[in-house]
C-alpha cells in the first residue's frame, strides 16, 4: 500500500473510532505562546501556566514590560519556566517590531512560505509550533507534525525511520486528505497518547495491525 493510501486509511479509521475532534482556537499570538508553553509538558500544565500568565498580565504589552523573573514565576506549572519566559519576551519584541503588539493577525494574510519563514525565525519556534499557529490561529488546512504524529507514521511505514520532523512536514503535507489536516493531527495525537504510546504501546488495541511495523521491531520508539 502506498504511503498516501495508508494515511487515508489511518484518517478513516481514526475518524470512525473517535469521531470529529474538538479543535483548539485562539488568535495567532495566543496559539503561538500556548504552543511554546506546551514544550516538554502536558496540556494541563501548559494551560495552568498560560492562565497564570494572562491573569497576571492581561495585555501582551504588560508581559513585554514585566521583569523576566515575574513572567517565569507565572510559568512554573509548565516547567522550563525561565527559558520559556526569556523566549516569550524575545518573541513579543520581534512581533512588536514587525507589526506592533496586537494579536499578530497580520501573519494570516501572508503566504504560507513567508509566514513560516517569519515564525521559524522566532526563538524556540520549530516547524511544529509554526504549523500549529497557521492551523489553529489562522484556520489553515496545514498538518503540524509533533512527536506522536512522527512516531505513529514511522511505525505504520508511512515515513522512513530516519525522517526528521522537519522533513516529515514536507513529505506528509501532500498525502493528507484535503480539508482533513487539522483533524488528522489531533486524532493522531489522541491515538498516540492512548494507544500507540512511545513506551509500552497497547498493541492489543491497535487499529492498524496490518500496517504496523512495531511488532516486528522495525517501528521505532
Residue 217: pLDDT above 70? no
Region 146-171: mean pLDDT is: 96
Over range 45-66, report the average pLDDT.
Answer: 97
> What's residue 146's pLDDT?
96
The DSSP code for 134 is I
| Overall average pLDDT of the 201-206 stretch | 95
Q: What is the mean pLDDT of residues 163-180?
A: 96
- Residues 61-73 have a mean pLDDT of 97
Residues 10 and 64 in one domain: no
The reported pLDDT for the residue numbered 202 is 95
Domain co-membership, 32 together with 18: no
C-beta of residue 211 within 8 angstroms of C-beta of residue 9: yes
Closest by alpha carbon to 3, among 207, 168, 198, 194? 168
pLDDT digits (tens, 9 = 90+) for 101-113: 899 999 999 999 9
Provide the CATH number for the domain around residue 44.
1.10.340.30
8 with 71, same domain? no
Same-domain check for residues 70 and 111: yes
Q: Which one of 137, 162, 178 terminates a domain?
A: 137
Do residues 122 and 186 both lie within one domain?
Answer: no
133, pLDDT greater than 60? yes
| Per-residue 3-state assignment (H helix, E strand, C coil) for 78-125 | HCCHHHHHHHHHHHHHHHHHHHCCCCCHHHHHCCHHHHHHHHHCCCCC
Domain membership flag for residue 195: yes
Examine the domain organization and report whether 94 and 40 are in the same domain: yes
Same domain, 74 and 152: no
Same domain, 93 and 119: yes
Give pLDDT, residue 145.
Answer: 98
Distance from C-alpha of 53 to C-alpha of 130, rounded to nearest angstrom? 21
Q: How many other CB atoms sit within 10 Å of the CB of residue 122?
A: 19
Q: Which of 137, 157, 187 is the last residue of a domain?
A: 137
**pLDDT digit string (tens) for 150-161?**
999 999 999 999
- At 112 the pLDDT is 96
pLDDT score of 3 = 82
Alpha-carbon gap, residue 36 to 46, rounded angstroms: 9
Q: Indicate if the pLDDT at residue 220 is higher than 80.
A: no
Domains contained in the chain, number: 2
Alpha helices per DSSP H over the chain: 3-18, 28-37, 43-56, 60-65, 68-74, 81-99, 112-120, 127-132, 147-155, 165-172, 181-194
Q: 183 in a domain, yes or no? A: yes
**114 and 204 inside one domain:** no
Task: Share the mean pLDDT of the chain.
Answer: 94
* 55: containing domain: 28-137
Is the residue at 90 inside a domain?
yes
- The pLDDT, as a whole number, for residue 25 is 87
- Domain of 12, CATH number, reads 1.10.1670.10
Percent of the chain with pLDDT over 70: 97
Residues 125 and 173 both lie in one domain: no
| CA–CA gap between residue 56 and residue 111 (Å, rounded) | 34
Q: Mean pLDDT across the stretch 144-154?
A: 97
Is pLDDT of 214 > 90? Answer: no
Domain shared by 203 and 150, yes or no: yes
Residue 199 lies in a domain: yes
Q: Rounded to an integer, what distance in angstroms lies between the CA atom of residue 136 and that of residue 131?
A: 8
| Cβ neighbour number for residue 70 with a 10 Å cutoff | 15
Residue ending a domain, among 137, 157, 182, is: 137
What pLDDT sits at residue 206?
A: 96
The per-residue pLDDT for 209 is 94
Specify if 221 maps to a domain.
no
Q: Are residues 180 and 106 in the same domain?
A: no
Amino acid at each position: 500500500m502506498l504511503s498516501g493510501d495508508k494515511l487515508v486509511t489511518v484518517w478513516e479509521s481514526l475518524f470512525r473510532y473517535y469521531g470529529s475532534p474538538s479543535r483548539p482556537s485562539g488568535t495567532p499570538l495566543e496559539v503561538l505562546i500556548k504552543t511554546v508553553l506546551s514544550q516538554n509538558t502536558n496540556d494541563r500544565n501548559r494551560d495552568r501556566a498560560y492562565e497564570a500568565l494572562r491573569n497576571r498580565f492581561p495585555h501582551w504589552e504588560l508581559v513585554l514590560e514585566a521583569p523576566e523573573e515575574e513572567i517565569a514565576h507565572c510559568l512554573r506549572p509548565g516547567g522550563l519556566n525561565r527559558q520559556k519566559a526569556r523566549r516569550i519576551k524575545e518573541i513579543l519584541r520581534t512581533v512588536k517590531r514587525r507589526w506592533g503588539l496586537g494579536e499578530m493577525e497580520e501573519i494570516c494574510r501572508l503566504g504560507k512560505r513567508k509566514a513560516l519563514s517569519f515564525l521559524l525565525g522566532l526563538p524556540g519556534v520549530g516547524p511544529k509550533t509554526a504549523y500549529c499557529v497557521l492551523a489553529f490561529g489562522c484556520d489553515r488546512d496545514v498538518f503540524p507534525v509533533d512527536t506522536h504524529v512522527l512516531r505513529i507514521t514511522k511505525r505504520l511505514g508511512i515515513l522512513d525511520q530516519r525522517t526528521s520532523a522537519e522533513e516529515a512536514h514536507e513529505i506528509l503535507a501532500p498525502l493528507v486528505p484535503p480539508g482533513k489536516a487539522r483533524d488528522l493531527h489531533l486524532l493522531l495525537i489522541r491515538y498516540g497518547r492512548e494507544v500507540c504510546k512511545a513506551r509500552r504501546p497497547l498493541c492489543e488495541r491497535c487499529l492498524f495491525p496490518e500496517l504496523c511495523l512495531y511488532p516486528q521491531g522495525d517501528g521505532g520508539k
